[in-house]
Amino acid sequence: MFDGFAIADIDVGDARIHVRHGGEGPPLVLLHGHPRTGATWHRVAPRLVRQGFTVVVPDLRGYGRSTAPAPRPDHAQASKRAMAGDLLALMRTLGHDRFDLVGHDRGSYAAFRLAMDHPEAVRRVALLDCIPIVEHLDRISPEFATAWYHWFFFAQPDIPERVIGADPDGWYGGAPEQMGAENFAERRSAVHRTEVVRAMLEDYRAGLTVDRADEEADRAAGRRLQVPLLVLWSLRDDLEQLFGDPLAIWRDWAMDVRGHGIDSGHHMAEDAPEPLSDALTAFFHG
């Protein structure tokens, strides 16, 4: 995976971020979702390098081989604002003060927060399989609660750690032939480490508490994304079925919104790397 990419572990303050980076040209950051690592981008990152980007692929704090502080009662150590701070420090260390940004799933919330809080650092942002957390919660239905029960299960104290820890392979599943053998092995190694599982659960606990409060404050203040936004969603997942047109939702949160569905399952970087790479290239070269 990631042939020709450099690998580093960079201290950003209260975390150490594991990162792969390679290529030449405008800097572009790719952020993974749960329970993946940066390796989920192994079919996309080389394509983007060939399209003329410097591609930076970190593990989010607490995920994969990145570290995270010990959990706090308010879960702020797992907040998307903390993750955004990591990424800003990481990119400055790599010599990039302004960059393009992609986030999928949980990584999309870190990307959203970074673009919202630091528009001077983000040129354009793409958010994949994502609407704001508060928009999800405003639309709670039996269908959403059933399909996305893990949001609320993961928020419970201690119980999820015990359940997942009893059988990480059974809980997270996945297939090497679909994910790619090395990507699968990296993900599997990560979820067998108790500190990683705890950090990933803290990500969800922060989502329903401190991150939710940050989004509510944005909405109350009328804050919107000032940078161009590309929204992509998986047509074989359930985001559109549950919530309708994601673009209509995002128009309340951003000044410049465009996007479309991708014929893919949820992990589109693994399932549909070519159409995803083409969409990202067109947007970021635009």
Catalytic positions = 105, 266
Name every residue whose Cβ is closer than 8 Å to that of residue 245 and which is 6 or more positions away in sequence. none
How many domains does one find in the chain? 1
Cα separation of 143 and 149, whole Å?
Answer: 10
What string of H, E and C letters represents the secondary structure of 47-113? HHHHCCCEEEEECCCCCCCCCCCCCCCCCHHHCHHHHHHHHHHHHHHCCCCCEEEEEECHHHHHHHH
Inter-residue contact 59 to 32 (CB < 8 Å) = yes
Cα separation of 214 and 30, whole Å?
Answer: 23
Band (286; pLDDT cuts 50, 70, 90): confident
Q: Where in the sequence is the domain holding 207, given as residue range(s)?
A: 6-284
Inter-residue contact 135 to 243 (CB < 8 Å) = yes
Neighbours of 89 (CB within 10 A): 16
Inter-residue contact 175 to 184 (CB < 8 Å) = yes
pLDDT score recorded for residue 224: 98
Name every residue whose Cβ is closer than 8 Å to that of residue 102 and which is 6 or more positions away in sequence. 28, 29, 30, 31, 111, 125, 126, 127, 128, 280
3-state secondary structure of 130: coil
Does a structural domain hold residue 154?
yes
Q: Nearest-CA neighbor of 78 among 190, 191, 155, 145?
A: 155
Mean pLDDT rounded to a whole number for the chain:
97
Band (73; pLDDT cuts 50, 70, 90): very high
Residues 55-71 have pLDDT tens digits of 999 999 999 999 999 99
Residues 75-95 have pLDDT tens digits of 999 999 999 999 999 999 999
Residues 36-50 have pLDDT tens digits of 999 999 999 999 999
Cα separation of 218 and 64, whole Å?
Answer: 30
Does a structural domain hold residue 44?
yes
Band (138; pLDDT cuts 50, 70, 90): very high
Residues 250-268 have pLDDT tens digits of 999 999 999 999 999 999 9
Q: Which residue has the tokens 């957390």?
A: 133
Give this prediction's pTM. Answer: 0.98
Does a structural domain hold residue 1?
no
How open is the CA angle 252-203-97, to the nearest 5 degrees? 65
Task: Read off the CATH number of the domain in which 175 is found.
Answer: 3.40.50.1820
